[in-house]
Amino acid sequence: MSKIRLFNAKILTMKDREAADGEIWIDGKKITYVGAPKNTDISFDREIDCAGDLLMPGLKNAHTHTAMTFGRSLADSASLDDWLHKHIFPIEAKLNEDNIYWFSQLGYAEYLANGVTACFDMYLKPDAQAKSAVDAGFRHVFCGAVNDFGGMDTLEDEYNRFNNYDELVSYQLGFHAEYTTSEGIMKQISEISHKYEAPVFAHVSETKREVDGCIDRYGMSPVKVFDKLGLYDFGGGGFHCVWFDDEDLDIYQKRGLSAAFNCCSNLKLASGAARVDRFITRGVNIAVGTDGAASNNALNMFREMFLLSTLPNLYVDGGAFVDPYEILKAGTVGGARMMGLDDCDILAEGKQADIIRIDMKHPVMRPVNNTVANIVYSGHPGIVKMTMIAGNILYENGEYSTIDLDKVIDTTDKMMDSLR
Amino acid sequence: MSKIRLFNAKILTMKDREAADGEIWIDGKKITYVGAPKNTDISFDREIDCAGDLLMPGLKNAHTHTAMTFGRSLADSASLDDWLHKHIFPIEAKLNEDNIYWFSQLGYAEYLANGVTACFDMYLKPDAQAKSAVDAGFRHVFCGAVNDFGGMDTLEDEYNRFNNYDELVSYQLGFHAEYTTSEGIMKQISEISHKYEAPVFAHVSETKREVDGCIDRYGMSPVKVFDKLGLYDFGGGGFHCVWFDDEDLDIYQKRGLSAAFNCCSNLKLASGAARVDRFITRGVNIAVGTDGAASNNALNMFREMFLLSTLPNLYVDGGAFVDPYEILKAGTVGGARMMGLDDCDILAEGKQADIIRIDMKHPVMRPVNNTVANIVYSGHPGIVKMTMIAGNILYENGEYSTIDLDKVIDTTDKMMDSLR
């Protein structure tokens, strides 16, 4: 438990859109001071001169499949259905616990280099995943991954176990999607949700084909099916949210649900383009995710934020011109809210010290006409100089403190030989 | 004139899509060897162990306004017309030679950090621009910037002068666009083009409004107007190329013209999405540009390549699934061809040593299932470790050899106070 002082910084707390000169003190996992430069006789273990760099809350990756780094650039140029059935499922059938552990280490390394301090992850073999997260010092929120092929019998146990596993790990109820999950299983998940008064999350309306299929099966869209089955009675939300109609939006607004968008993956798999402007207008909580590296092919929240902000301009006559501050809020505060990380959302006293440092001397950040617009429209992972989670500096100037990147690369390279 | 050896590398020459183990020797400005590891008794001034990193041709930014870094995040959320008339033109009226020099230094710094080794630039005050380029050691290709407000009287002089100025500088005939340039002036440019048998370039079909206006004025699209006026008789091409009809494509195919795309700027200004797939099918030479930082808001060729490759998936039923190798060729070889830089296109003996080193140990580049797909779909400026132009290492591990970044930042900050 160390005491750290980050001084001589610009601070964007994400309570408001203006960055201000100041400093941050950290004691153990938490922030003890955020504000103007201040004298103190506290003895810090480390004092870091930020030299005018920006400190802000870490980015929250609100939908991902971390271990899917194995599939990066392995099967491109395919639509979601083909990609999943012809390319991904056959490899997933071979994955063991070791694979999940090491490919997740690679994913956590990329998150840290990219300024991501938490992820909302849906995937396989949660024990190996949780160990990998804790070893990396990464904040990992599981989303249940139930579908017709498995997961229902262990969902409640996982929910209880991983919500009492480690401070860095938590678990939300969830299932894959309507098109992979029978009504009977969805009803069982709804029952568990009611028992624990817990929110439920799933992929929803990612492709037009999915929505059309659901209408064939149920006579209504996936959002309406989930709502009717009581899956949204205690909140929750969806991943992708590309093909929402007005009634779907009404349900998300009325129920206080959250929508996580994954623009790069949607573009690459030819699924469509989400319309974040329609969610913002209704005040729906929005969040940003990368999806897995197998479909994206990066875990780059900056590229996601640029796209989420600008893609609606293709569909609104004269331009939608989404406010970039709404998008940066989605990438930080909105994601934290969706994932149940209420103590990791903004920079404030008593909050978890999940902080990133942005290089304000990088040419792409100059001149400073508008800091928030610079991050959303100009930013890329190369501007991240430091990533801290729960008071631990896990990434600094290209070096990792918890991840042995050379070993991760060697190990995952060898594993690929047997997976390809 | 120094001799450099880059060894222990993966080399992607861009003659074909496979990277191979090897090394590169440079003598002065040129490449003297590219191939398998090889013993030699040449005495090099510097031998760099690339530790398995990738060497490839530098990216060619085929449409930009380098000095417009002043406008980064200064005026967002506006359509092209409003952005240009209400925000940009009033500031441009104030720009002096010093502004152009220093804001271009900032732009060159960003190019170098992003792996860009040449730009095709249309802007103001070419003397200050050329001096800034040569001081930075950057390869700068001017495109004439004639419109109704000026430039016609100096075009021929600039063409002759900047094609005999410095080995790093060249000049192509060009004008702003149909909607800003009268028929009379376009005819004068056509005459100069015929006199020198030189290609001509201009913004073309960037917005639907531009095309509709041109049809009102001439009864045909901008491409057809340019073709009819003889502007394409000696080749050339266009920037943006968003709203092309089949006849426009026919002309580009038949005439052997080049199209440079600027997806980020188009998205952000609500201009539309280019359809690179339609150009590839016809074998048109394609290139990638960032447009200026004032509309993009970055000079990030990786984000451009991702978008250029994936945006057509929104418009083709079942997905367009453009080959990422075609996009990487556009970002290197296609751009060089468009800009008249035939000796800067691929890595081969006798070619200019315009080379970048990509960090293959960055998590986003692992595992290596497909190097080209990794660069196009996963890459970002943070993976660039070294940028060399004409045999000079101008950027290496975050440090610049020709640009004083601190001074650039201080100077441009002060200049912003009088421009805003």
ipTM of the modeled complex: 0.97
Give Cα B418 distance to the centre of its chain.
29
pLDDT of B239 > 80? The answer is yes
Q: pLDDT digit string (tens) for A97-119?
A: 999 999 999 999 999 999 999 99
pLDDT at B210: 97
**A334 Rama class: left (phi>0) / alpha (psi -120 to 50) / beta:** alpha
With CB atoms and an 8 Å threshold, state whether B373 touches A297: yes
Over residues A311-334, mean pLDDT: 97
DSSP assigned state of B309: H
DSSP assigned state of A412: H
Residue B1: band (very low, low, confident or very high) from pLDDT cuts 50, 70, 90: confident
- How many whole angstroms separate alpha carbon A124 and alpha carbon A114? 24
Between vectors from CA B371 to CA B19 and to CA B289, what angle results, nearest 5°?
A: 100
Cβ-nearest to A106 among B77, B366, B369: B366
Collapsing DSSP to helix, strand or coil, B242 comes out as coil
Structure tokens at B89: 């033109």
Structure tokens at B135: 């001081």
> Cβ contacts (< 8 Å) between A87 and chain B: which residues?
none
pLDDT of B292 > 90? The answer is yes
* B54 touching chain A per CB within 8 A: no
CA distances from A307 to A170, A261, B260, B419 (A): 29, 10, 20, 29
pLDDT at B127: 98
Share of chain B above pLDDT 90, in %: 95
* A402 touching chain B per CB within 8 A: no
pLDDT at A173: 98
Collapsing DSSP to helix, strand or coil, B352 comes out as strand
* A270 touching chain B per CB within 8 A: yes
Interstrand relation of A355-358 and A285-288 (parallel, antiparallel or unpaired): unpaired
* A161 touching chain B per CB within 8 A: no
Contact A304, A59 (CB under 8 A): no
pLDDT at A81: 84
Q: Which of B267, B305, B413 to mutate to test the interface with A (most CBs of A within 10 A)?
A: B267
pLDDT at B347: 98
CA distances from B128 to A7, B90, B124, B160 (A): 39, 20, 9, 17
With CB atoms and an 8 Å threshold, state whether B323 touches A362: no
Contact B190, B200 (CB under 8 A): yes
With CB atoms and an 8 Å threshold, state whether A381 touches B364: yes
pLDDT of A1 > 80? The answer is no
> Cβ contacts (< 8 Å) between B269 and chain A: which residues?
313, 319
Q: Please, what is the average pLDDT of chain B?
A: 97
Residue extents of the structural domains in chain A? 3-57+345-400, 59-343
A255 phi and psi angles, rounded to 5 deg: -85, -5
H or E element in which residue B216 lies: helix B208-218
Contact B384, B376 (CB under 8 A): no
Contact A116, A144 (CB under 8 A): no
> Cβ contacts (< 8 Å) between A272 and chain B: which residues?
314
Over residues A4-8, mean pLDDT: 98
With CB atoms and an 8 Å threshold, state whether B363 touches A416: no
* A418 touching chain B per CB within 8 A: no
Q: pLDDT digit string (tens) for A194-207?
A: 999 999 999 999 99
Contact A143, A162 (CB under 8 A): no
Q: pLDDT digit string (tens) for B68-113?
A: 999 999 988 878 888 888 888 899 999 999 999 999 999 999 999 9
Q: pLDDT digit string (tens) for B333-375?
A: 999 999 999 999 999 999 999 999 999 999 999 999 999 999 9
Contact A217, A187 (CB under 8 A): no
A-B contacts at Cβ under 8 angstroms: 211
With CB atoms and an 8 Å threshold, state whether A382 touches B382: yes
> Cβ contacts (< 8 Å) between A381 and chain B: which residues?
364, 380, 382
Which chain B residues in 275-294 lie under 8 Å from chain A, judged by CB atoms?
A: 293
Structure tokens at B328: 């990487």
Top-level class of domain A3-57+345-400:
mainly beta
pLDDT at A28: 98
> Cβ contacts (< 8 Å) between A268 and chain B: which residues?
310, 313, 377
Q: pLDDT digit string (tens) for B26-65?
A: 999 999 999 999 999 999 999 999 999 999 999 999 999 9
For chain A, the distance separating the N- and C-terminal CA atoms, rounded to the nearest angstrom, is: 43
Fold of B59-341: TIM Barrel (3.20.20)
> Cβ contacts (< 8 Å) between B362 and chain A: which residues?
113
Cβ-nearest to A413 among B367, B408, B412: B367
Which chain B residues in 304-333 lie under 8 Å from chain A, judged by CB atoms?
A: 306-307, 310-311, 313-314, 316, 318-321, 323-324
Contact A356, A382 (CB under 8 A): no
With CB atoms and an 8 Å threshold, state whether A73 touches B311: no
With CB atoms and an 8 Å threshold, state whether A364 touches B381: yes
Residue in the structure block whose two tokens are 């790069």: A264
* B302 touching chain A per CB within 8 A: yes
Over residues A246-262, mean pLDDT: 98
* B115 touching chain A per CB within 8 A: no
Residue A226: band (very low, low, confident or very high) from pLDDT cuts 50, 70, 90: very high
Over residues B8-16, mean pLDDT: 97
Interstrand relation of A399-400 and A384-389 (parallel, antiparallel or unpaired): unpaired
Q: Which of B61, B296, B378, B420 to mutate to test the interface with A (most CBs of A within 10 A)?
A: B378
Q: Which of A104, A267, A361 to mutate to test the interface with B (most CBs of B within 10 A)?
A: A267
Q: CB neighbours (10 Å) of residue A247?
A: 13
DSSP assigned state of A241: -
Contacts of B102 (CB under 8 A, 6+ apart): B132, B408, B411, B412, B415
Q: Which of A297, A405, A408 to mutate to test the interface with B (most CBs of B within 10 A)?
A: A297
Over residues B235-249, mean pLDDT: 98
Query: What helix, strand, coil percent values describe chain A, rounded to 5?
Result: 45, 20, 35
Cβ-nearest to B314 among A273, A370, A384: A273
Which chain B residues in 169-228 lie under 8 Å from chain A, judged by CB atoms?
A: none
With CB atoms and an 8 Å threshold, state whether B378 touches A72: yes
pLDDT at A77: 80
Q: Which of A81, A305, A366 to mutate to test the interface with B (most CBs of B within 10 A)?
A: A366
DSSP assigned state of A235: -
* B152 touching chain A per CB within 8 A: no
Contacts of B221 (CB under 8 A, 6+ apart): B205, B211, B214, B215, B243, B244, B245, B247, B248
- How many whole angstroms separate alpha carbon B203 and alpha carbon B284? 17
Homologous superfamily in CATH for domain B3-57+344-400: Urease, subunit C, domain 1 (2.30.40.10)
pLDDT of B285 > 90? The answer is yes
Cβ-nearest to B378 among A77, A106, A298: A298
- How many whole angstroms separate alpha carbon A12 and alpha carbon B150? 43
With CB atoms and an 8 Å threshold, state whether B296 touches A77: no
What is the Rg, in whole angstroms, of the alpha carbon atoms belonging to chain B? 21
> Cβ contacts (< 8 Å) between A298 and chain B: which residues?
364, 377-380
pLDDT of B270 > 80? The answer is yes
| CATH architecture label of A59-343 | Alpha-Beta Barrel (3.20)
> Cβ contacts (< 8 Å) between A364 and chain B: which residues?
110, 113-114, 298-300, 381
- How many whole angstroms separate alpha carbon A296 and alpha carbon A261? 12
Cβ-nearest to A377 among B268, B366, B368: B268
**B117 Rama class: left (phi>0) / alpha (psi -120 to 50) / beta:** alpha
Q: pLDDT digit string (tens) for A339-375?
A: 999 999 999 999 999 999 999 999 999 999 999 999 9
pLDDT of A84 > 90? The answer is no
- Smallest CA–CA distance, residue A243 to chain B, in Å, is 13
Structure tokens at B25: 């020797």
* A382 touching chain B per CB within 8 A: yes
Contact A82, A304 (CB under 8 A): no
> Cβ contacts (< 8 Å) between B298 and chain A: which residues?
364, 377-380
* A102 touching chain B per CB within 8 A: no
* B296 touching chain A per CB within 8 A: yes
Over residues A129-157, mean pLDDT: 97
B21 phi and psi angles, rounded to 5 deg: -60, 140
Q: Least CA distance to A380: which residue of chain B?
A: B380
- How many whole angstroms separate alpha carbon A384 and alpha carbon A300? 11
The single-letter code of the amino acid at B63 is H
